[in-house]
Amino acid sequence: MWTGIPIGFRGNVNGILSSERKIETLRPAWFALDACDYMARGNDELGLDGKLHQYLISQNADPADYPYAFLLTVAKFCGYAFNPVSFWYLYSSGKELAAVIAEVNNTFGGRHLYFLTKENSLSPSTTSTETTFRNRFQKDFFVSPFSKRTGDYSLVTNDPLYPRMTGTGPIKLALTLSSSEGKPKLVARVYSEGTPVDPASLNWWQVQKFAVSKAWDTWATEPRTVCQAVLLMFKKGLHNFTVPEPLKVSISRKALSHEFVIEAVFRKWLKNMVRKSDRKVVFLYTAAGVPGSGRERERMASPSAKAVGDEEEIWDTDVIELDVLTPVFYARLVRYYTPLSAFEQEAAQGQTIKVSDIASLRSILQKSDGNEIVGNEWAWPLLAARMRRQPKSLVVAKEGRGYAEAAMPAPRMEDLETCDNALDAFVKPHFGDVGQRKYRRAVLKLLVSDHVALSNMDLLALECFLVRAGLVWMAGNAVRMLLHSLV
């Protein structure tokens, strides 16, 4: 079921629909829209309107050009929603449809936003009218395992609020995916049937009846999608493509628990390296998948660096931009023998991080990337060093069918001779007992998974469950035999 709501509205309508409930502390409703489910991750306190404002600025667009906005989406029902795509209709000061944002989510936790205007279409012949918006744009996001991250989309939609934001539909929208050769592959349509339901016009009994009638449609959408995918794979024989890491312009999935723990250590370690540097250097660090970070850059400056403002020129200060594209980087980072080798090799692949100046980064870390063992501890460094394996190369998009592995540089001999990773050594003096245990547990799980679970944490969890179940069964069987012998 599709829900339309004007951006800027915050409240609870008749107990059936709420907007920004987490911000306004509203009473629960059957259907809900919250800022945490849209746009960039983090900064949810800004609300839908604030996050839209930030996004427009990031696209070099003036939010004042779009004072009105209308969101067409699938609202959460009892806290659950399967929402592959949402459409933001942006209106000019004259209340005419001027742009559309297509916000696409995939089942792997990623998200991508396409900012579409009447001027930025790939096809000059694709012209919009007063009542119809058209745009053709490049596909930059991996959505389905049966389709590569190539080709382009064509969007055709009517203005659901025509004329001048006074209309009430209907909704008519078509999204066509074409191959790199320009051949249509898939057509998805969104359209309305019957009269739209105004939640404010329903009485208590109608609200409950409506909610119950839409429950199955909401909960069954994802299982239906999975069933169709299984049929396409096994019955129709469609090729299943490997999931590539997201592009820089996309929003990565949320970090897993072990990635979140490693990111906290990595962030503090990076700050420490910059603080100890005797050079004038400024790091602009962007995390990926960490709650509350969004895509905002954190500025880390060395003591001798100038106070550089956003509008000032930089003359004698090294500015290094380090953008983590996906939380996978944190899991791969601790598998390398040194962070420096991780930076060099991951940046060479370009799938997990982007580094603006790898030469400056190398010169800074080479002076401070020593792997000292703190105190008399020897068991953990030795265990980690024995279990470490350089991570396998990631897949990248290639021409034609499927994906290819990225070229992985060979590990350096000096890295192979080190005993302890710099992050392992950094944790001991800079984190308490709880922080050390969390970090080492996360790293140990990753290293163990490389040896017994094909580097798959889900498979490792399944194996651990089976081991525990086997131990419980053996213990129960032993107790039963003991009781039997006593009798």
pLDDT of 136 over the 60 cut: yes
155-194 tens-digit pLDDT:
999 999 999 898 887 899 999 999 888 888 889 999 888 8
267: Cα separation from own chain's centroid: 19
Query: Hey, what are 133's tokens?
Result: 């918006």
Q: Which amino acid is it at 329?
A: F
Q: Output the pLDDT for position 312.
A: 46
pLDDT of 403 over the 80 cut: no
Residue 424 backbone phi and psi in degrees, to 5:
-60, -45
247, 327 in Cβ contact below 8 A?
no
pLDDT of 416 over the 50 cut: no
44-85 tens-digit pLDDT:
888 999 999 999 999 999 999 999 999 999 999 888 888 899
289-340 tens-digit pLDDT:
887 655 678 889 888 875 545 444 455 678 899 999 899 999 999 999 888 8
Query: Hey, what are 28's tokens?
Result: 């629960």
- Pairing state of beta strands 353-355 and 297-301? unpaired
Query: Hey, what are 179's tokens?
Result: 């191959």
Q: Output the pLDDT for position 395.
A: 61
Sheet holding 11-13, edge to edge: 11-13, 17-19, 31-33, 76-77
139-151 tens-digit pLDDT:
988 888 888 888 8
**3 state DSSP class of 353:** strand
Residue 402 banded pLDDT, cuts 50, 70, 90: very low
Angle at the Cα of 126 (from 122 to 127), degrees rounded to 5?
125
- Pairing state of beta strands 11-13 and 17-19? antiparallel
Give me the chain's average pLDDT, please.
Answer: 84
Using only C-alpha atoms, what is the Rg of the chain? Answer: 26
pLDDT of 486 over the 50 cut: yes
Cα separation values, 293 from 24, 44, 255, Å: 22, 10, 11
Query: Hey, what are 93's tokens?
Result: 């000061």
pLDDT of 419 over the 70 cut: no
pTM over 0.75: yes
Query: For residue 142, which of 96, 194, 189, 104 has the smallest C-alpha distance?
Result: 104
pLDDT of 418 over the 70 cut: no
Give DSSP secondary structure letters for 268-328.
HHHHHHHHH--S-EEEEEE-SS-TTTTTPEEEEE-TTS----TTS--SS-EEEEEEE--TH
Query: Hey, what are 347's tokens?
Result: 């940046």
CB atoms within 10 A of CB 94: 10
124: Cα separation from own chain's centroid: 32
290, 255 in Cβ contact below 8 A?
yes
Q: Output the pLDDT for position 306.
A: 57
